[in-house]
């Protein structure tokens, strides 16, 4: 059985984690398949936005504890699992997480590697690593702190508690909570709306926003300015502004 299912609904695609018997625990094999699917869609001009989802019961219950349990520090360092995980964060197209059920440990981190999180009211988020005698290892200490601030991130990571979708919304981790039956549709609707925009402008916006997590304000502003100027050499910018003046919908070609 494939560990990842890809549903193409051009101009968007839905990538589904498919390891239900283990609540979508993120084994190395699953992560390899996930990255291969995401990178293939990232390079496909017919796809303009991607939704990442799991099952109703579980987005992902974390990295695979059974596969990590007996590793030594030297072994896990040599295996370098982060090299694969980092490639999720390197996807250039808009990536929306549609989360239902568990998003725990590495599952929560995976959702945070996406650009936007849409959550079902059933979603449960948490960084549970502390309960296993470890800390988050796929960006949780950094991305969660950026998302919800230091005091809350400390509470989440040091307590190993599980938080509801409403709490995650209030904390600023997720952008929307939907009724249980609606989370995937809502994420797809948003992906379709985003897919109408210029892919070049989308990539530039994503790059500029992510730079804000990584650099001081002056550097981020400089990067934003450079990206802004570059867009004036694209046909999409001419089309977008021409369409406005002609009072019609723009048709962006990605050039
Ligand atoms: N790993 C392996 N198997 C898991 C799993 C996991 N994280 N979560 C669930 N499963 C398996 C269970 O073992 C069980 O399998 P069988 O025993 O039937 O063979 C099956 O899924 C169903 O689970 P339960 O029977 O436990 O189901 P319940 O509904 O009773 O409970 C639960 C659901 C989500 C509360 C419970 O399964 C649970 O507590 N799961 C573990 C949650 C957790 O602690 N997650 C954090 C794991 S640590 C890194 C990248 C990532 C990470 C670290 C480094 N690098 C790139 C360096 C991440 C670390 C983590 O995520």
pLDDT in tens, 15-48: 999 999 999 999 999 999 999 999 999 999 999 9
pLDDT in tens, 235-244: 999 999 999 9
CATH 3.40.190.10 fits 199-245, yes or no: no
pLDDT number for residue 89: 97
Of the candidate ranges 74-83, 95-104, 148-157, 234-243, the one whose mean pLDDT is the lowest: 74-83
Q: Tell me the torsion sign for CA atoms 226, 232, 234, 239.
A: positive
Fold topology of 4-195: 2-enoyl-CoA Hydratase; Chain A, domain 1 (3.90.226)
Query: For 208-227, how does the pLDDT look when each residue is reduced to its tens digit (9 = 90+)?
Result: 999 999 899 999 999 999 99
What size, in residues, is the chain? 255
**Residue identifier of the C-alpha nearest atom 2 of ligand 1:** 64
For 86-142, the pLDDT digits (tens) are 999 999 999 999 999 999 999 999 999 999 999 999 999 999 999 999 999 999 999
Active site residues: 63, 106, 109, 129
- Please tell me if the CB atom of residue 140 comes closer than 6 angstroms to any atom of ligand 1: no
Instruction: Give the chain's mean pLDDT.
Output: 97
Q: What is residue 26's DSSP assignment? A: B
69 pLDDT band, cuts 50/70/90, is very high
Helices 140-148/106-113 angle, 10° precision: 60
> How many contiguous H segments (helices) and E segments (strands) does the chain have?
12, 10
Q: Residue 152 above 90 pLDDT?
A: yes
Six token digits for residue 99: 């989360």
Residue % of the chain over a pLDDT of 70: 100
* Domain ranges within the chain, ordered by starting residue: 4-195, 199-245
The pLDDT value recorded for residue 142 is 97
Any ligand 1 atom below 6 A from CB of 85: yes
Tokens, residue 74: 């030297």
pLDDT on residue 248: 97
Burial of 244 (0-12, 13-18, 19+ CB in 10 A): exposed
Distance 165 CA to ligand 1 centre (A): 19
**Nearest ligand 1 atom to alpha carbon 137:** 54
pLDDT tens digits for range 166-197: 999 999 999 999 999 999 999 999 999 999 99
**What whole-number distance in Å separates Cα of residue 225 and Cα of residue 219?**
10
């Amino acid at each position: 059985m494939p560990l990842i299912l890809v549903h193409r609904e051009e101009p968007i695609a839905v990538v589904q984690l498919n390891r239900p018997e283990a609540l979508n625990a993120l084994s190395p094999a699953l992560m390899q398949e996930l990255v291969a699917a995401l990178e293939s869609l990232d390079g496909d001009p017919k796809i303009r936005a991607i939704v990442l989802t799991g099952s109703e019961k579980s987005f992902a219950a974390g990295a695979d504890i059974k596969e990590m349990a007996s590793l030594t520090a030297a072994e896990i360092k040599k295996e370098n699992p982060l090299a694969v995980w980092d490639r999720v964060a390197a996807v250039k197209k808009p990536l929306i997480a549609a989360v239902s059920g568990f998003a725990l440990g590495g599952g929560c981190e995976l959702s945070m590697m996406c650009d936007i999180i849409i959550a079902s009211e059933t979603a449960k988020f948490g960084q549970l690593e502390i309960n296993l005698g470890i800390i988050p290892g796929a960006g949780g200490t950094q991305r969660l702190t950026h998302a919800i601030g230091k005091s809350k991130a400390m509470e989440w990571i040091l307590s190993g508690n599980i938080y509801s979708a409403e709490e995650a919304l209030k904390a600023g981790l997720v952008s929307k909570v939907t009724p249980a039956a609606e989370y995937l549709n809502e994420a797809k609707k948003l992906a379709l709306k985003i897919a109408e925009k210029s892919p070049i402008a989308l990539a530039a916006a994503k790059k500029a926003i992510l730079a804000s997590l990584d650099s001081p304000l002056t550097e981020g502003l400089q990067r934003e300015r450079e990206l802004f100027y570059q867009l004036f050499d694209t046909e999409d910018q001419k089309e977008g502004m021409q369409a406005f003046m002609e009072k019609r919908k723009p048709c962006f070609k990605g050039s």
